[in-house]
């Protein structure tokens, strides 16, 4: 079987029987199931809050779900307050290769804080990564929402073939490119990402480049840039725009299951 080029390289474990390997193959010593967890990833914060709410003690300012989440905030994903994290005495910090900086992960580890790094660039990787985090690292088993999401996304992609462009920022404009979780979501919805062959994962482009790629639909999420009916569609006259939830398009926690139907309805059904 051909190896998925997106799969992380697994390192050889060198610690004892309590060692687990994160998605990068880095050994994480967990002598007991973690009871105090800090999450630096909004998607995983929601997954932890829904699955093991009594264990989550800290999260970033960008962790907006669940709406009533009441934990200590540790600043942002790119500039976490490491002193505040250490002050919470966590027995595990959850991070992501794309969302968080290696510098912060390295410094937390140097301070003696165990860090579990996830790697998620596809739906399958998201499902496998969350099973390992929840099942192996936290020993919490597989929650119902994760099993339901796996069943939903196991359905074959519909034969739609709409060409789409997905800006995630403007001034400068940036779009979803190759080797991304969002790109895989689009493919599994039967959509063709017009920038899917780009060399970069999130290429910077001119608005003319987006129009020149001749998408059938320009998909405008509300995060990280907050596109709205008054901010975004006007840049693409003559091309239909679809406003979607950024959480549906980019998050891989409990929203992953219902996201499929919502995205299909928003992108493929033309408004009357």
- Say if residue 219's pLDDT is above 90: yes
Identify the pLDDT of residue 19: 87
pLDDT band at 11 (very low <50, low <70, confident <90, very high): very low
Region 214-231: mean pLDDT is 97
- Do residues 48 and 94 make contact, with C-beta atoms less than 8 angstroms apart? yes
Q: String of b and e for 222-245 (b: at least 16 CB within 10 Å)? A: bbebebeeeebbebbeeeebbbbb
Tokens of 120: 């998620």
* Structure confidence by residue, pLDDT tens digits, 136-145: 999 999 999 9
Identify the pLDDT of residue 206: 96
- Say if residue 15's pLDDT is above 50: no
* Structure confidence by residue, pLDDT tens digits, 39-79: 999 999 999 999 999 999 999 999 999 999 999 999 999 99
- Say if residue 153's pLDDT is above 50: yes
In the chain, the domains with their CATH numbers are: 19-152 (3.40.50.1980), 163-268 (3.40.50.1980)
* Structure confidence by residue, pLDDT tens digits, 247-267: 999 999 999 999 999 999 999
Global confidence as pTM: 0.89
Identify the pLDDT of residue 6: 44
Residues 6+ positions from 155 with CB-CB distance below 8 Å: 260
* Structure confidence by residue, pLDDT tens digits, 80-122: 999 999 999 999 999 999 999 999 999 999 999 999 999 999 9
- Say if residue 13's pLDDT is above 50: no
What spatial distance separates the first Cα and last Cα of the chain, rounded to whole Å?
47
Tallying the residues shown for the chain, one arrives at 272
Identify the pLDDT of residue 269: 81
- Say if residue 126's pLDDT is above 70: yes
* Structure confidence by residue, pLDDT tens digits, 163-218: 999 999 999 999 999 999 999 999 999 999 999 999 999 999 999 999 999 999 99
Identify the pLDDT of residue 272: 54
Beta bridge partners of 56: 37
- Say if residue 1's pLDDT is above 50: no
Identify the pLDDT of residue 17: 57
Judge if the upstream peptide bond of residue 66 is cis by omega within 30 degrees of 0.
Answer: yes
């Amino acid at each position: 079987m051909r190896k998925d080029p997106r799969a992380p390289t697994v390192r050889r474990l060198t610690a004892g029987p309590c060692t687990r390997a994160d998605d990068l193959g880095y050994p994480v010593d967990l002598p007991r199931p973690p009871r105090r967890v800090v999450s630096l990833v909004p998607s995983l914060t929601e997954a932890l809050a829904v699955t093991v709410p009594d264990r989550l003690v800290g999260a970033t300012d960008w962790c907006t779900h669940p709406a009533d989440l009441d934990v200590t905030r540790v600043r942002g994903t790119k500039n976490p307050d490491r002193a505040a994290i250490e002050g919470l005495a966590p027995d595990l910090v959850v991070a992501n290769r794309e969302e968080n900086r290696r510098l912060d992960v390295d410094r937390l580890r140097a301070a003696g804080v165990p860090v579990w790094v996830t790697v998620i660039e596809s739906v399958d990787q998201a499902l496998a990564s969350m099973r390992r985090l929840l099942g192996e690292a936290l020993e919490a088993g597989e929650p119902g929402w994760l099993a339901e999401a796996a069943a939903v996304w196991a359905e074959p992609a519909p034969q739609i073939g709409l060409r789409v462009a997905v800006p995630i920022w403007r001034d400068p404009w940036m779009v979803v490119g190759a080797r991304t979780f969002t790109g895989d979501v689009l493919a599994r919805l039967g959509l063709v990402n017009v920038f899917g062959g780009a060399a970069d994962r999130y290429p910077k482009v001119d608005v003319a480049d987006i129009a020149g790629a001749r998408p059938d639909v320009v998909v405008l999420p509300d995060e990280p840039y907050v596109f709205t009916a008054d901010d975004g569609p006007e840049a693409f006259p003559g091309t239909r725009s679809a406003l979607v939830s950024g959480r549906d398009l980019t998050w891989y926690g409990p929203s992953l299951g219902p996201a499929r139907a919502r995205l299909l309805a928003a992108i493929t059904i033309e408004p009357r």
